[in-house]
């Protein structure tokens, strides 16, 4: 299995490339529109066919690259159920619910409903039965769980209580050795483990549900740079930039 973590410096977003090297097919999770050329070039250089683009949620801080990658490669776009309004539906190939699995060769990707940052957010558990150094279980935690942090809950359809339940009941119940790969990082981290986050994540360690809700409410965060642009585009599916209608997810 090939596993790559790719970074967009403007939005501090991680995109994940996973591929089965026997069948030479790949999955991209949370591609960024501005990085489509980079991702397409890498796929070409590695001689990989893109089969699926998965989204963890409707992003508020960057525009997805899934639609452009779909047009360029014929890949299937898969998004969490209930993530989108109706008129973008013709650009979505499949909705995914909690517990559903996408398979590609030896790779299994299981959706874990983790609402709270948005109401339809999914984390993806990759090879959840893996327990060796060569084949570790990984969770792509999206914006539900960041390394020593978590996604904000004051925008879009955020709900701090739901996020606390998602992290403590869906993610912190995974085996301790499960590697955590977040959707963003702003401090230079790239990977953590469930064990580490249970012990050292300051938003959750030692905090009750009500204490977490109170903490999130007093954060008073500024709007992210691209929220006004990205959230409506990603949710509704139309980008009017450059005088063209580009449907995104």
For Fe ion, the binding residues (CB under 5 A) are 59, 143
Closer residue to Fe ion, CB minimum distance, 17 or 58: 58
Closer residue to Fe ion, CB minimum distance, 25 or 143: 143
The β-bridge relationship of strands 76-80 and 49-54 is parallel
Closer residue to Fe ion, CB minimum distance, 68 or 120: 120
Minimum Å gap between C-beta 24 and Fe ion is 31
Return phi, psi of residue 180, to 5°: -105, 120
Nearest to 64 by CA among 29, 20, 116: 29
- Give the C-alpha separation, 58 to 80, whole Å: 9
Closer residue to Fe ion, CB minimum distance, 41 or 82: 82
The β-bridge relationship of strands 136-142 and 179-182 is parallel
Closer residue to Fe ion, CB minimum distance, 59 or 138: 59
- Give the C-alpha separation, 54 to 30, whole Å: 6
Residue sitting closest to Fe ion (CB): 143
Q: Give CA separation, 51 vs 11, 169, 220, in Å.
A: 25, 31, 40
- Give the C-alpha separation, 81 to 98, whole Å: 9
Q: Is 82 left (phi over 0), alpha (psi -120 to 50) or beta?
A: left
Minimum Å gap between C-beta 177 and Fe ion is 26
Closer residue to Fe ion, CB minimum distance, 59 or 70: 59
């Amino acid at each position: 299995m090939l596993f790559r973590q790719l970074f967009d410096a403007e939005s501090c977003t991680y995109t994940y490339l996973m591929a089965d090297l026997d069948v030479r097919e790949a999955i991209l999770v949370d591609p960024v529109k501005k990085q489509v050329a980079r991702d397409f070039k890498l796929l070409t250089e590695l001689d990989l066919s893109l089969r699926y683009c998965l989204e963890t949620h409707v992003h508020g801080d960057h525009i997805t690259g899934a639609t452009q990658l779909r047009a360029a490669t014929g890949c299937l776009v898969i998004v969490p159920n209930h993530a989108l309004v109706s008129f973008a539906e013709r650009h979505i190939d499949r909705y995914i619910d909690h517990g559903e699995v996408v398979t590609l060769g030896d790779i299994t990707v299981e959706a874990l409903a983790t609402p709270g940052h948005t109401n339809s957010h999914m984390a993806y558990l990759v090879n959840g039965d893996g327990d060796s150094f060569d084949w570790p279980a990984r969770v792509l935690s999206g914006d539900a769980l960041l390394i020593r942090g978590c996604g904000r809950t004051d925008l879009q359809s955020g709900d701090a209580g739901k996020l606390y339940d998602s992290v403590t009941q869906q993610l912190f119940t995974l085996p301790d050795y499960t590697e955590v790969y977040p959707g963003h990082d702003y401090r230079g981290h790239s990977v953590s483990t469930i064990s580490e986050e249970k012990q050292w994540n300051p938003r959750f360690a030692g905090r009750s549900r009500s204490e977490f809700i109170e903490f999130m409410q007093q954060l008073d965060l500024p709007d992210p740079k691209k929220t006004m642009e990205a959230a409506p585009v990603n949710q509704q599916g139309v980008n009017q930039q450059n005088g063209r209608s580009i449907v995104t997810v």
